[in-house]
Amino acid sequence: MDHRDPVGARRIAFATPETEFGEGVADRLPETLDRLGVDAPLVVTDRGVESAGVLDAALDGLELDPTVYYATTEPSVEDFENLPDAEVDGVVAVGGGSCLDTAKVVAALLAHRGTASDYLGVGRVPGPVAPTVAIPTTSGTGSQATQTAVVSYDGVKRGMSDELLRPDVALVDPALTRDLPRDVTARSGFDAFVHALESLTARDHTRVEPRPINYQGANPITRPISRRALELVHGSYERAVADGDDREARRAMSLGSHLAGTAFSNAGLGAVHALASSVGGMTGRPHGECLAASLTAGLRYNLPSRREQYAAVARTLGVAAADDDTDEAAEALLAECERIRDAVGLPESLADLGLGPDDADVIVENTLIQERRIKTNPRDVGEDLREEVVRALE
């Protein structure tokens, strides 16, 4: 008989925005704003979302006349110097991860002024921000579900993490993702895949020091969500990339990426994300590409601490047989992750991002300061990460 304690005595916090999911749920925006008491929304979007007609689709039926603020891709601290001065009482974010992250920063600045750098780090937002509704137009970051915005500062990707930044409502409408170009589907979908995998295999919450944020380690609430997210994304990602009109695949990616965001914003992530943030700041390349380039180094570094679990995940995904031994099954998971990365045409190594052996020191240094990721990595991260980094630079 199995006497393992399935839940444990440790406190678990779990936070999520109120969520509506399904084709057409963006139609609920007017009613949602009404319920939140928002009369003068600021819409944060980008030119691409607008010119693709997705903004109109998301705002269809909205009788209010919103102020529009355009986000940049991969925002940096300086991008927030010219905020609109119109009186607004709520924020609606319509777009991919950069837009949704921008909306969180804008909400903090509108409420408390100052500059974006004032709020970088954990728990630095001094008080409530305006009600925020997030409408994702990609199936990737899951930012609509999370309490963090990623912003570049001095060439390093930094997080602004605060429970006050988690959107109040997420309207997750797969219909808005139908016309996403192939490369965006590939990059954003890979992010969702890594969120699911890293949150599932994150350090157990009983081994993470209590911290003033919900990145508290994988736990009995987050693991089933991560697992479902991983199955949905694994089963639909390549189909969505190959055929954007595959509505079933688009729906699965949309829900999978949202669940992955929900899970990782409570459980935390690990070395792949820490490395990707480091090289993202150095190269300015999109997050999904940096993740792909960091994948092998991060997973291999963690392999000694996660052999059993990688093997179990490989069996769950059907890429290892029940009678494969642990080492073989764990290797099968790594091989499957690399196969998917290559199948969608993402970079294979840090060298593919244009980095070379001389960059190893800075990469490692910038990775070790990714405190929000490192603390939930299954293995203690130290200078020995360099070995994997050097291999990925060859």
Shortest distance in whole angstroms from residue 372 CB to Fe ion? 12
Between residue 26 and residue 55, which ones bind Fe ion under the rule CB under 5 A? none
Secondary structure element (H or E) that encloses residue 132, with its range: strand 132-136
**H-helix segments, 174-246:** 182-200, 222-242
74 binds Fe ion (CB under 5 A): no
Shortest distance in whole angstroms from residue 35 CB to Fe ion? 30
79 binds Fe ion (CB under 5 A): no
User: Virtual CA dihedral for 198, 141, 253, 241, nearest 10 degrees?
Assistant: -100
Cβ atoms of 291 and 340 within 8 Å: the answer is no
Burial of 53 (0-12, 13-18, 19+ CB in 10 A): exposed
CB closest to Fe ion, residue no? 191
Candidates 27, 101, 162, 191; binder of Fe ion (CB under 5 A) is 191
Q: Which is nearer to Fe ion, 16 or 143 (CB)?
A: 143
Q: Which is nearer to Fe ion, 74 or 191 (CB)?
A: 191
Which two three-digit tokens encode residue 65?
């006349």
Shortest distance in whole angstroms from residue 195 CB to Fe ion? 6
How far apart are the C-alpha atoms of 381 and 379, rounded to whole Å? 6
Burial of 348 (0-12, 13-18, 19+ CB in 10 A): middle
Q: Which stretch binds Fe ion (CB under 5 A): 187-195, 231-239, 242-250, 254-262?
A: 187-195
How far apart are the C-alpha atoms of 368 and 275, rounded to whole Å? 9
Q: Which is nearer to Fe ion, 249 or 291 (CB)?
A: 291
- Strand-strand pairing, 156-161 and 67-70: unpaired
Q: Which is nearer to Fe ion, 42 or 230 (CB)?
A: 230
Q: Which is nearer to Fe ion, 45 or 143 (CB)?
A: 143
Q: Which stretch binds Fe ion (CB under 5 A): 20-28, 75-83, 186-194, 384-392?
A: 186-194
Q: Which is nearer to Fe ion, 92 or 100 (CB)?
A: 100
DSSP state of 203: P
Residues that bind Fe ion (CB under 5 A): 191
